[in-house]
Structure 1
Amino acid sequence: MNQRGAADGCGEPQGFRRHGGAPFTVSVVLPAGGTGERTGLPTPKQFCTVLSRPLISYTIQAFERLSWIQHIVVVVAGESNALMTDIIQRFQHTKVRVVSGGATRHRSIFNGVRALDAGKSGATPDVVIIHDAVRPFVEEDFLFEIAMAAKENGASGAIRPLVSTVIATSSEDYLDHSLERSKYRASEMPQGFLYHVIYQAYQKCSEVDFDFGTECLQLALQHTGTQAKLIEGPPTLWKVTYKRDLAAAESIIKESLCGSACIISDGSERSREFGQCLQRVMGSFDMVSILTVPTGKMGTELDVLPDVIGDASCLSKEWNFIQLSVNGSGLSEVEETVRALEAANRALLHPIVVVWVRFDTSDGLSVMETGARPLLLVELASAAKLQNILLYGIHLHFSEKDAGWSDGSVKRLAELTYTLIHDRNASLAGQMLHA
């Protein structure tokens, strides 16, 4: 998922760099004890799977990738402790600690805040950000704004314009009055607090506050006199509440994952030329792509990356891979790419797509149609799928007598390739499609 604040990919927002590094410490509390009744699903929504990964893991990653976030406390119902611990281990989250929640939301949040006490975590943070576990699309720049406003004002919170008019009803269920929508805002997450402000607020809470309160900012105002700075947040702050929201979340994640691709040439002139044409067409789909070639097989007239297999930086980026081969099998090179991705553990957090595009320039029957390579592709794809790598094949035939390929054939290939990368349809993995 692209984040607005990561200008150079180092994980530290521009604001912190302008201030010469992180000027204070920030930790996060993620309450995740909800039962998810409104989704109508047997699994609480925070643990529902989106692209082979629990929703809460995406939310954790949104914070964990930021170098200026020190600790993340996830608060879950006691019966979910083992499940949450397994998620942390499986997806290698390193900044996370799990604590048991209470009977209500505020009791759970207070448990998370107390877990950040110096006596338990080793360093009490200056600022605590509280965020819902089922809001995975929080942006880095906005988190920075919340953290800075909390440091300066004691508390801060996200707001959004009201979508619907709020009305009050009488005891007989008739309209009593309506509120002027322009004067009101919807309170959202994240919310930020100086540690001592939110800690003291919870220490002073009554049983009524703990049992029926819903607004952390109100508790800070009521019990510590701290007025929160309110900041209008982006539309991406929406919360997964209903079953349909899970489908929407998957669509957003797919869009973010199909935004870039690494086109790997086999080193031949035709492969390079076609790769350049494909690169231009993919740009019309808002997909950023780069062309790589095996080291030593190309001249210096192109600004290209070295061989993707030999350059770990290529494998560390959130790219998909399009591997081109002309006439020769090329399947061994595809296998090499898959093995390199597996070794780099690139598919841990989301499925990676590898599309093998094989150009056949023979005038007779395609070797792909007569040989055993389709079976080998299926076998390779089946093994790769177990590692969360989706491998597809595309066969494109054109005659050597032709001057080249048509714009239409390049466009058809680009559209098919983009669809495979976007949809990530596991049932099509191992298929050799024809463009």
Structure 2
Amino acid sequence: MNYAVIFAGGTGTRMNTKTRPKQFLTLHGKEIIIYTLEHFENHPEIDGISVVCIEEWIDYLKKLLEKYRIKKVKWISPGGSTGQESIYNGLNAMRGEIANDSIVLIHDGVRPLIDEQLISDNIRAAKEKGCAVTVVPATETVMLVDDNEQIVESVDRHKCRVVRAPQSFVYQDLLEAHDEARNKGINTIIDSATMMAAAGYTLYPVVGRPDNIKITTPSDYYTFRAIVEAEENSQIFGY
């Protein structure tokens, strides 16, 4: 069985919007979080979805799920004080209700430009290797700096990958890593891939599309709009 944990707990401070969190901004009348959820809702291998949402917006999310007939969302949890805590809440909501060897895909609610193939590739890689992390090749020069903000080394970009999402793992392995981190008082690990690497697991890359962006700024939103409209035009006009 395969499940998705969708993190929609951010407040969108970099989006400069005072009216609603970024995951609830709309494009053509549809909220970004719904664009994201529909990919998992429509994927034949996804058996259930756990959503982590800003507590004050949970009722609104439930109305959207009903409006767009999203049936696979079985758990909704409030966001935590950090990203790590929010993901834990989404995982913990499923504790005892799904098999320990299930595959879980951790994904950002504001990363709506994924596709069926990427979800399938993550599931397959996680089943075969235990850990799968979506990446894209680095396309610009990468350099390391020291504590004095001086460039000390140029890194071969052909060996560099930019980490994105989904990030996919065996449910029990990821939950135990979270439990261990919490027992140690650690609550600020940046993402699941970093947590699993720290726990000693080997991470395996799944190459995704460069346009699988996370919408955190106004320019990201405009890029998202352009890509969606280009896809719509290709369906209508055939180009």
Q: How does 1:343-354 map to 2 (within 5 A)?
A: none
Shift of 1:259: 4.1
DSSP-derived class of the 1:74 partner:
strand
Q: How does 1:111-122 map to 2 (within 5 A)?
A: 111-119=89-97
Aligned twin of 1:199: 175
CA contact (8 A) 2:135 2:208 kept: yes
Aligned twin of 1:246: 221
Aligned twin of 2:83: 105
Q: Structure 1 counterpart of 2:226, which letter?
A: S
Q: Which structure ranks higher in relative contact order (CA pairs < 8 Å, sequence separation ≥ 6)?
A: 2
Aligned twin of 2:125: 149
Q: Structure 2 counterpart of 1:103, which letter?
A: S
Aligned twin of 1:75: 52
Write the distance in 1 (CA, Å) between the matches of 2:79 and 2:54.
Answer: 5
Write the distance in 2 (CA, Å) between the matches of 1:201 and 1:231.
Answer: 21
Shift of 1:256: 2.8
Aligned twin of 1:190: 166
Q: Which runs of 5+ in 2 are unaligned?
A: none
Q: Structure 2 counterpart of 1:107, which letter?
A: E
TM-score by structure 2 length?
A: 0.90
1:166 and 2:139 are equivalent in the alignment: no
Q: Deviations over 1:367-420 (max 9, x none)?
A: xxxxxxxxxxxxxxxxxxxxxxxxxxxxxxxxxxxxxxxxxxxxxxxxxxxxxx
Aligned twin of 1:319: none
Q: Structure 2 counterpart of 1:118, which letter?
A: G
Q: Which runs of 5+ in 1 are unaligned?
A: 1-24, 262-284, 288-435
**Compared CA separation, residues 260 and 186, structure 1 to 2 (3 A):** closer
Aligned twin of 1:64: 41
CA contact (8 A) 2:133 2:166 kept: yes
Q: Which one has the largest radius of gyration?
A: 1
Write the distance in 2 (CA, Å) between the matches of 1:124 and 1:94.
Answer: 23
Q: Structure 2 counterpart of 1:88, which letter?
A: L
DSSP-derived class of the 2:108 partner:
coil
**Compared CA separation, residues 118 and 170, structure 1 to 2 (3 A):** closer
DSSP-derived class of the 1:205 partner:
helix
Aligned twin of 2:155: 179
DSSP-derived class of the 2:173 partner:
helix
Shift of 1:171: 4.1
**Partner residue of 2:196 out of 204, 207, 220:** 220
**Compared CA separation, residues 163 and 209, structure 1 to 2 (3 A):** farther
Shift of 1:92: 1.9
Write the distance in 2 (CA, Å) between the matches of 1:63 and 1:52.
Answer: 20
Equivalent residue pairs, number: 236
Root mean square deviation of aligned Cα: 2.0
DSSP-derived class of the 1:137 partner:
coil
Write the distance in 1 (CA, Å) between the matches of 2:231 and 2:101.
Answer: 32
Percent identity over paired residues: 28
Aligned twin of 1:425: none
DSSP-derived class of the 2:201 partner:
coil
Q: Deviations over 1:78-112 (max 9, x none)?
A: 22212212221222211113211211101111111
Q: Deviations over 1:243-265 (max 9, x none)?
A: 1221222222223334446xxxx
Shift of 1:198: 0.6
Aligned twin of 2:212: 237
Q: Structure 2 counterpart of 1:216, which letter?
A: S
Shift of 1:228: 1.8
Shift of 1:123: 5.6
TM-score by structure 1 length?
A: 0.51
Shift of 1:33: 0.8
Shift of 1:160: 1.1
CA contact (8 A) 1:150 1:193 kept: yes
CA contact (8 A) 1:28 1:72 kept: yes
The 4+ residue runs of structure 1 with deviation greater than 4 A are 122-125
